[in-house]
Every structure is written in C-alpha cells, then in structure tokens.
Structure 1
Amino acid sequence: MATQAKVPKAEGKNNHDNVDEQADKEQQEAIEQIDEVQNEIDRLNEQASEEILKVEQKFNKSRQPFFQKRSELIAKIPNFWFTAFVNHPQISALLTEDDEETLQYLTKVEVQEFEDIKSGYKINFNFDSNPYFENEVISKEFHLNDTGEPSSKSTTIKWKPGKDLTVKSSTPSKGGRKRNHDEGEQETFFNWFCDHADAGADELGEVIKDDIWPNPLQYYLASEIDEDTGGDLGEEDDLDEEGLDDEEGDEDIDGEDEDLGEDEEGGDEDEG
C-alpha cells in the first residue's frame, strides 16, 4: 500500500514540472518577441531624432536674423543683461557683490550653436572697458566628439592687478562684508569659465542656452512684474481692510442707536 501511495504523487510532480517548463518556455518566447519589438521602436526613435535634428538646424538658421535684431535693440537698454541675470533665480544665487559689480559692464550675451547642433555650442560675453579685466569678450564652448564624450574650453580671463575675483582675499568687499578665507579659490560666477571638470553636467551653460537666451526679456522684466503684482495685491488688501473697518464702524453705530433707543424708551416709562 505504501508503494502504491507514492506512485500518484510522483506522477503529479512530473505533471507540475511539465506545466512549469511550458510556462517558462512561453515567458522566454514572449521576452524575445518583446526585445524584437523594442529594437523596432529604438530604430524608429533614432530615425525620428535624425529628422528632428534636420528641422532644428533649418529653423536655427531662420532664427539668426531675429537674434541679431534683438541684440541691436537690447544694446539700447542700459544694464539689460545684468538685470536679466540678477532676476534669474538660479543665476542670482551664484552671484557675489563683486560679481554683480562686474556684470554691470556686460553689454551683450550671445549663444552660437554649431552648424551640427548636436556637436555643441558657444556662449560669448561682451564687456565694456572695466576695472576688473582686459578682455572685451569672454567665451565658453561645449563640444561633443564623435563618441559622444563632452568637453569644454574657455577664454583665459586677463585679470587686472588685485582684481582677480577667483582668488580668495581677506580684505573687506565694497559692501562691507569681510571675506575671511585663506589663499585659494573664491566662490564667484567667474569660476564657471575655468571649470571643465564635468562638461556634460554644466547646469549654468544649459540655463543660459535653454532658458535665458530664448527669451531674456521675461527675466529683464521680472522685477517690474513682481512689483506691479505686489502693488496691486497691497491695494486690494488695503481696500479689504478699509471695507472691514467701515462695516465694523457701521455695526458700532447701529448698536449705539439701538442702545440709545432702549434708554429713551426706558426713560419714558420711568417718567410715566
């Protein structure tokens, strides 16, 4: 009896194993088919990227005359680029007082995408004659080689004696704040020009190229918009407060009238 009891258990186990094998086989076939479909999707994505790049290159050329016209108009507005940078939340967080003083001599910013857009771009900063450095133009370039490896290079800044903002100093700044640092690298916007450690993750370059450059006017006007909005809100708040005061005043007057009426009625009854 014991031997007979074991036989059906073995057969059941074999059946279960066969079911598992079939299920594994079907899953493997499904995975292989998914991989084939995914390869087709990847090929289409690659083709789409090539087509998108062609369109982008075409319209990049079409935009150039408008960028040129915009630059000519911007040149008529003092401190346009300085104001746009100071109003930008990410860039303003990087600026020291000395940076802000230096950027007031900034007259023009220009982003030049290379003819083969995916190979990189260049950002030019044009300055008026200033007490900080000799350069009229300071540039930083970003490149992608054939293997897709990023790199960057930039203009060497020719600092005037004692004006190198990238070197720490123990002297007070013009704003009165003292920099108690040893000799070494100073935190400043201009460190960006000599930072080539990770060109593929250069957030500042991407912000200027993709955020500020397409529409710098929105950041130039940002402070004015904030002030206008704040002013309007303030006036509404004042009006609301005045309205509440008036309502409270009316209630007080009504309450006084009611009290007076009750007193008068009470007085008449006493006299009666």
Structure 2
Amino acid sequence: MVEKVDIKNRSGKMSAAPTPQNTPSSANNTTFGVKEPQFKTIDEGDEDLEAIDGRLDSLRNLTSQRISELPTSVQKRISSLKGLQKQYSSLELQFQRELFELEKTFAKKYGPLFERRRELVHGEKEPSEEEIKKGIPEGEEVSKALEGKNQKDQQMKGIPEFWLTAMKNVLSLSEMITPEDEKALRHLIDVRLVYMEKPGFQLQFEFEENPFFSNKVLTKSYYYLEETGASNVFMYGSAKGDEIQWRPNADLTIRTVVKKQRNKNTKQTRTVKVSEPRDSFFNFFSPPQMEDEEEENPGLDELLELDYQIGEDFKEKLIPRAVDWFTGEALEDYDEFGDLDVEDDDEDAESSSNENFSDSEDDSSENEDEDRTAHSKQNPAECRQQ
C-alpha cells in the first residue's frame, strides 16, 4: 500500500466526455520529465514558510511541556495508551502487508481477462456471441450487435488506436502526449500491470513492429521503500524505466535544430546542428532519480511525486477500465476538470557553446514540436490510497 500524495495537474473544461469520435487529434499537451511541473508548491504558495515552521515547533514544545506537568498517575495512563497504539500499529502493518499480497493474488485472477482483452484489441481473435451478449447494455436489442459484417468491417483489424484513445481520455496521461508521440503510440498493443517480488509494481507497454524503436516491450518499475510510513503503508521509493532503442533519426525525446553561429573574430557565419530535449510521453521511461541529501533540488520532490502519480493513474485508472476510458464512460466517475486558464509558455532554445562562434539566429529545425502556448490548470487530484 502506498501513502497518499496530492498532485496538481493542468486540466481543461470540456463540453462533453471525449470519445473515439470527438477526441481531438492533437491537444494542448505538456510533458513530464523534461522540466519541472507547472503547479504551485508549498514553497511558492507561502512566502513565510519559516514562520509557520516556527509556530509548529512552538506548539509541539508547548504540548510536550503541558504533558510533563500532568500528575504521575495521568502520565502512566498516557504511557499505557502509547503501548496500545504500538500494538495497533503492529496489526495495521500486518493488515497492509496482507492486503498487498491479496492484490497480487487477484492480479493473477485478472490476468486471463486482460489477455483476452489484448487478443480482441489486437485483432488476433474475434469475440464469441456469448461475449458480445454480456457486453450489451440492458434493454438494447441483441440482434443489432450481432448483425453481419460489411466489407469495411472485414478490412479492419481489432480496435484501431484503442490504447492511444484511452490514454488521451485520462487527463493526466493526455497532457504527456504530443502529436509526434501519437504516431508511435498507435502501435501500442497492450498495457499490463505486474507485481514484483520486491514490494512494488511494473507497467509493461507492448508494441508491434514500428519505425520509431526496436523494443517490443517497454517497462517502468516502481519500488516501495523497505520501511513503512507513519500510517504503516508502503511508501514510494524509486522508479526505473527501460532504455528505448531508438531507430536512426526517430528519437521523439530530442529535436535537432539548425543554427547560425557568428565568429567573434572573423565575423564569418556557419551553420551547426544542435540536439535539444523536447516534450514527449516517452520521457516517462527516464524518471527523475533521488539525489544525495546534501544536494538541494527544490523541484525534485514534485517531479518524483508527479512521476509516481502517473504510474498510479496507469495502475488504478487506465489498466483496470481501459474500455471505459476508450469510450469516455469512465470520465463520468472522475471530477477532473476545472476552469481553463490560459497562460503564455515561452521557451527559449538553448544556444550551443563555442569558443569563437556565437549563435545569431535559428535557421530551421528538424522534427519541430508544434507550438503549444495554451496550458490549463487543474485542481489537486488525490492519489488513491491502496
């Protein structure tokens, strides 16, 4: 079980739930993994954080002092209550561990259902009449769902863009997907959840042969800490993703920009190609890593929490109810949409360093990202406590 974390994501107000028919081919997306998330942290939201810490310390000291002044008989009773609390914590820890094992047990039971889903989505097998009947809403005529196939039906294999459409209907995931990513994600066959021996879980993304990378399966593993938190739940520790084997000139996480440079001495100009990171869903497989405690990185905690939240959204939202996200029905159960605020997002391209040459202007770029200047803000979404 994992301790709750509050994550703030951007969102946009939608007039209707996205479906395969009305989901836009491109959206205002942002990327996870390239830059710090654009939401307020507690440090940014309160200019007098040190004063708050001081008041909390004062309150703790005052409480401790008051308890120490209580009669000895009362202090003994308090000690006995602490003993009972320790016993409770021990049982709570046992409960959380057994609950985690129960999740793993049922994950195995879900396996055949998800494997059958994979076969239908990829078009490896066709559904039986009995399977179709079970999925027809009550009151709808069965005969309509079982009508004969026309020529167009016979040419279409499986359910095209099933996972891409489902992912785009989960707000936190759609924000990560760029138009260029969509071309690669159309080759996504299946998304699976696997529990590991060490406390944690692994997300597996299976792809068909595609022109972007040679990996058949990309994995992202989330590990829990050995110790538990104050409430005896497993706490997120770290994450690790597979290295993507990009094909030549197909890396979606970088772009090559052609720039002009001017020699400071001769005033001559030349053109150079510079590789720059860019927004991409596939940055998800290069998660932020914890650093030495002595090194300060104010944005790291937010990046780690956001990375874990994305993994939880795959685990708790997308994978269990993929077809409901594909049709847009799952959106009825999630109040994810807030007011749409538009703000400028000006990004300056980094200049390549050279002792004698300096950049004068960008000449052209290869694999340019589409301009995305409108971003939306979302109310805090609470991670499901397992």
TM-score interval (norm. to shorter): 0.5 to 0.7
Q: Which residue of 2 aligns with 1:163?
A: 250
- CA gap of 1:124–1:225, structure 2 versus 1, over 3 A, is closer
- By how many angstroms is 1:224 displaced? 11
- By how many angstroms is 1:39 displaced? 1.1
1:206-225 CA distance string (max 9 Å, x none):
11112111111111001898
Pick from 212, 220, 237 the counterpart of residue 150 of structure 1.
237
d(CA) in 2 for partners of 1:59, 1:81: 23
Amino acid at match of 1:70: R
Pick from 28, 31, 34 the counterpart of residue 81 of structure 2.
34
d(CA) in 1 for partners of 2:289, 2:93: 29
Q: Which residue of 1 aligns with 2:355?
A: none
Pick from 212, 220, 242 the counterpart of residue 140 of structure 1.
220
- CA gap of 1:38–1:225, structure 2 versus 1, over 3 A, is closer
Pick from 169, 176, 189 the counterpart of residue 94 of structure 1.
176
- CA gap of 1:26–1:169, structure 2 versus 1, over 3 A, is farther
Map 1:107-256; keep pairs closer than 5 Å: 107-114=189-196, 116=197, 119-144=199-224, 146=226, 150-170=237-257, 183-198=275-290, 201=305, 202-222=308-328
Q: Which residue of 2 aligns with 1:43?
A: 90
1:179-225 CA distance string (max 9 Å, x none):
xxx74321211111012415973222111112111111111001898
Q: Give the aligned length.
A: 196
Task: Please give the TM-score of this superposition, normalised by the length of structure 2.
Answer: 0.45
Q: Which runs of 5+ in 2 are unaligned?
A: 1-66, 123-157, 229-235, 259-273, 291-302, 333-386
d(CA) in 2 for partners of 1:223, 1:45: 36
**Matched residue of 2:209: which SS?**
coil
- By how many angstroms is 1:125 displaced? 1.4
Which deviates more, 203-212 or 50-59? 50-59
- By how many angstroms is 1:50 displaced? 3.4
- Tell me if the contact between 1:87 and 1:223 (Cα under 8 Å) persists in the aligned partners: no
- CA gap of 1:39–1:146, structure 2 versus 1, over 3 A, is closer
- Higher percent of residues as strand: 2
d(CA) in 1 for partners of 2:253, 2:246: 10
1:127-156 CA distance string (max 9 Å, x none):
222222222222222234655783333222
d(CA) in 1 for partners of 2:326, 2:112: 21
Amino acid at match of 2:107: N
The CA RMSD over aligned residues, in Å, is: 3.1
Pick from 100, 103, 107 the counterpart of residue 53 of structure 1.
100
- By how many angstroms is 1:60 displaced? 2.3
**Matched residue of 1:124: which SS?**
strand
- By how many angstroms is 1:33 displaced? 2.0
Q: Kindly name which structure, 1 or 2, has the bigger radius of gyration based on alpha carbons.
A: 1
- Tell me if the contact between 2:325 and 2:331 (Cα under 8 Å) persists in the aligned partners: no
Amino acid at match of 2:218: I
1:24-64 CA distance string (max 9 Å, x none):
32442232122112112112212322332343333222222
**Matched residue of 2:110: which SS?**
helix
**Matched residue of 2:71: which SS?**
helix
